Amino acid sequence: MTIKHILKLCLLLLIFSCASSEISKIEGKRIVINDSLETNQAIDDFIKPYRLHLNKDMDSIISYAPETYSKSDGQLNTAIGNLMADAVYSEGNSIFNKRTQKNIDFVLLNHGGIRSIISKGNITTRTAFQVMPFENSIVVATLKGTQVNLMMEYLSKAKRAHPLSHQVQLILDKDSAISSATINGEPIDVDKTYYVATNDYLYDGGDGMTFFQPNEGLYVLDYKIRNILIDNFKKRDTINPKKDERFIKLED
């Protein structure tokens, strides 16, 4: 007998001697983890230095908010949404321009992408993490005027304060039909191409925004929205975002 045979025999013996057991009963439940459980001190001590370092960094003050800003502060545009879209424009365009010598025409983000309020008082790095906990980054899509028109149609129907940068003005009539739509004061030209910055989630069709694809070209900036916010906050002692007229509905 070869070694191989002996091994096989051993394996067989093992199988027959251990023998499979059958399940007779199963009990399943879930257990809540809450403050009725004691903290394991060894684990907590291990976390502590990480927590301290992180908190020191996260609590570093990078700007100041004179008011509390929430995404529910307005029907079609809000101070916090305008702040985010304009920050994406200014920080994103400086990178885009350096790489391409072109300029972003405008920015569209999504209302659901604002994950927290900005509270009155000091703005810290943590604020940026709360407003934008996800890793989404900015992309710039080259869109035809016809696609921009589809975007405006979408916005008129969505009736949500999806953040737009200040280059856009979209006015709906009292029936929520588009009354006028301009970019940098000019009507949308179906023959023109527009460089539109958005986040990678929306670019991929998130929130039903199907108008970004197909397109004439895509620029991936590898710039996270959270980092845009941090960089933007650091440039100003005090933020001063306002709700304005960029996206409104006429009442009569």
Partner 1 sequence: MKRRDFIQKSSAATVLASVGGLSLQSFSPSKTKKITILHTNDVHSHIDPFGPEDGRNANKGGVARRATLVESIRKENPNTLLLDAGDIFQGTPYFNYYGGELEFKLMSMLKYDVATIGNHDFDNGIDGLYAQIPHADFEFVSANYDFSNTVMDTHVKPYKIIIKDGIKIGIFGLGIKLEGLVGKDMYKETVYHDPIGKAQDMSRVLKEEESCDLVICLSHLGYEYKNNSDKVSDITLARATKDIDLIIGGHTHTFLPKPTIETNSIGKNVLVNQVGCFGLYLGKVDFYFEPGKKVSADGASIIV
Q: Which residues bind partner 1 (CB under 8 A)?
A: 15-35, 37-44, 46-47, 50-51, 53-54, 57-58, 126, 129, 133, 135, 200, 204
Q: CB of 53: closest distance to partner 1 in angstroms?
A: 8
Tell me the C-alpha distance between 17 and 181, whole Å: 80
Q: CB of 141: closest distance to partner 1 in angstroms?
A: 16
Which CB atom, from 226 or from 246, has the smaller least distance to partner 1? 226
Of residues 226, 236, 223, 233, the one with CA closest to residue 94:
223
Which CB atom, from 135 or from 245, has the smaller least distance to partner 1? 135
Q: CB of 190: closest distance to partner 1 in angstroms?
A: 30
Tell me the C-alpha distance between 138 and 223, whole Å: 6
Which CB atom, from 22 or from 252, has the smaller least distance to partner 1? 22
Q: CB of 41: closest distance to partner 1 in angstroms?
A: 8
> First vs last Cα of the chain: how many Å apart?
98
Of residues 142, 87, 133, 94, the one with CA closest to residue 109:
87
Q: CB of 134: closest distance to partner 1 in angstroms?
A: 8
Which CB atom, from 24 or from 238, has the smaller least distance to partner 1? 24
Q: CB of 222: closest distance to partner 1 in angstroms?
A: 10
Tell me the C-alpha distance between 58 and 223, whole Å: 19
Q: CB of 204: closest distance to partner 1 in angstroms?
A: 7
Please check whether residue 221 is in contact with residue 140, taking contact to mean a CB–CB distance below 8 angstroms. yes
Which CB atom, from 6 or from 11, has the smaller least distance to partner 1? 11
Q: Can you spell out the DSSP letters for 181-225?
A: EEETTEEPPTTSEEEEEEEHHHHTTGGG-GGGSS-SEEEEEEEEH
Which CB atom, from 133 or from 217, has the smaller least distance to partner 1? 133
Structure tokens at 230: 């941090």
For 52, other C-beta atoms within 10 Å of its C-beta total 10
Of residues 170, 108, 183, the one with CA closest to residue 138:
108
Please check whether residue 77 is in contact with residue 244, taking contact to mean a CB–CB distance below 8 angstroms. yes
Which CB atom, from 53 or from 236, has the smaller least distance to partner 1? 53
